[in-house]
A and B are shown apart, each in its own frame.
Chain A
Amino acid sequence: MNLRVAVVADRVSWEERQLIAAAPDANLELTWVNDESLCLGAEGAPALAAYDAVLVRSRSYTRGGLIATAAEAAGVRVCNAAKAIRACENKLELRTEMHRAGIPAADHRLVLSRRDFELALGQIPPPFVLKPIYGGMGKRVTLVRTADTAQSVYDYVEDLGHGFEQAMLVEPFLDGGTSIRCFVVGREIVAAAEFASAGGDWRSNAALGNQTRALPRDPALAKIVDDVVDVLGPGVYGIDLFRSGGDLIVNEVNHAPAFRAVAESTGVDVPRAIVNHLREELS
């Protein structure tokens, strides 16, 4: 009998379509369930009663953790675990967890006001990066190269940011030009690729459509990823790292990672790895 897994997301994108297609080979049946219509909270989570488990694929960084928390509370098996999703959604939370476990992550200052910002500038001089604590796809991640522009950049945070959007981090600019994306399933790195900025933008994340090349096996990378998985628990993660002066530093972890670019640049069958992992977790 195929086990039934709800793929919770606001829509079926390329990744979810691949997962749904790969599922029968792992004796699973994956079905899209709209993340906007679960109305969780009631005993036993009626909207999810027909499923043996939930795969959270909400790309939204507000919905994922909330849905996972409520579903777990109702006794539903959830991948990734709520605790892991909550850590991934919040850049400060993630840095704190990494720090606690002794895993290198970027130095940072929490900036909630202009006063914080001014103090942060004194401690992390330009060039630095100003980025939202809740954010994604590289949006609003700003490289400030000189002190002259810092205050006017902050004007935009103050004038146009609402509530949560004003919660920012200041980090040193780790200049290397490339960032590494590790796609982790369970505890294993199934694919690793290096992204280089396409030229027109200093940012090099996958969401901005940058160049990619597959990375060979690297023991140092395997070690840091293993440490991150020790903190978050096994799951499906996109772990972004920087190489800075030879050292690897964790930048962020995505809990519902896209995998088109990494699958195409490495040839790895990522959907198969994910459905096999789900199958193992469920048996």
Chain B
Amino acid sequence: MTAATLTGTCPECETDLTVPPMGEGETLSCPECMLTLRVEAVEDGRMHLRMVEVALRDWGQ
């Protein structure tokens, strides 16, 4: 079963977030503090989020 939305809390500014379904490793930007957050795990419709850099300094492409 995939929930229609997922919830989580921004680890930096503690804003409560509700988002469409996302998988582990995907990122979103916190609408309040604008930081980039990565979904570390999803459990019972709740996301565990962690702040990451928008882009790493050594990204190539």
Interface residues of A (CB under 8 A from B): 9-13, 16-17, 20, 32, 34, 59-63, 89, 134-137, 206-207, 238, 254, 256-258
Interface pair B38/A61, CB less than 8 Å apart: no
Interface pair A257/B23, CB less than 8 Å apart: no
Q: How far is the CA of A63 from the CA of B56 in the complex (A)?
A: 11
Task: Please give me the residue from chain B that is nearest to A207 by CB atom.
Answer: B61
**Among B27, B58, B60, B61, residue most surrounded by chain A Cβ atoms (within 10 Å):** B60
Residues of B within 8 A of A89 (CB): 60
Q: How far is the CA of A16 from the CA of B25 in the complex (A)?
A: 9
The 6 closest A-B pairs by CB, nearest first: A136-B60, A12-B25, A32-B25, A61-B60, A59-B59, A12-B26
Q: How far is the CA of A20 from the CA of B25 in the complex (A)?
A: 11
Query: With contacts A16-B25, A20-B23, A34-B25 known, is A10 near B52, CB below 8 A?
Result: yes
B24 within 8 A of A: yes
Interface pair A62/B58, CB less than 8 Å apart: yes
Interface size, chain B (Cβ < 8 Å): 12
Of the A-B pairs whose beta carbons lie under 8 Å apart in the complex, a sample of 20, sorted by A's number, is A10-B52, A10-B56, A11-B27, A11-B38, A11-B52, A12-B23, A17-B23, A17-B26, A32-B23, A34-B25, A59-B59, A60-B59, A60-B60, A61-B59, A63-B58, A238-B61, A254-B60, A254-B61, A256-B60, A256-B61
The interface bits of chain B over 19-61 (1 if a CB of A lies within 8 angstroms of the residue's CB, else 0) are 0000111110000000000100000000000001000101111
Residues of A within 8 A of B58 (CB): 60-63, 134, 136
Q: How far is the CA of A17 from the CA of B25 in the complex (A)?
A: 9
- Distance between B30 CB and nearest chain A CB, rounded to angstroms: 15
Interface pair B56/A258, CB less than 8 Å apart: no
Residues of A within 8 A of B24 (CB): 12, 32
- Distance between A83 CB and nearest chain B CB, rounded to angstroms: 17
Interface pair B56/A60, CB less than 8 Å apart: yes
Q: How far is the CA of A37 from the CA of B26 in the complex (A)?
A: 16
- Distance between B41 CB and nearest chain A CB, rounded to angstroms: 11
- Distance between A214 CB and nearest chain B CB, rounded to angstroms: 20
Residues of B within 8 A of A10 (CB): 52, 56
Interface pair A59/B23, CB less than 8 Å apart: no
**Among B23, B52, B56, B58, residue most surrounded by chain A Cβ atoms (within 10 Å):** B58
Residues of B within 8 A of A63 (CB): 58
Task: Please give me the residue from chain B that is nearest to A88 by CB atom.
Answer: B60
Task: Please give me the residue from chain A that is nearest to B27 by CB atom.
Answer: A11
Q: How far is the CA of A221 from the CA of B50 in the complex (A)?
A: 44
Among A9, A207, A257, the residue within 8 A (CB) of B25 is: A9
Query: With contacts A136-B61, A207-B61, A257-B61 known, is A59 near B26, CB below 8 A?
Result: no
- Distance between B51 CB and nearest chain A CB, rounded to angstroms: 12
Residues of A within 8 A of B61 (CB): 59, 136-137, 206-207, 238, 254, 256-258
Q: How far is the CA of A9 from the CA of B26 in the complex (A)?
A: 11
- Distance between B11 CB and nearest chain A CB, rounded to angstroms: 16
Task: Please give me the residue from chain A that is nearest to B36 by CB atom.
Answer: A11
Interface pair B60/A11, CB less than 8 Å apart: no
Interface pair B25/A59, CB less than 8 Å apart: no
- Distance between B28 CB and nearest chain A CB, rounded to angstroms: 11
- Distance between A238 CB and nearest chain B CB, rounded to angstroms: 8
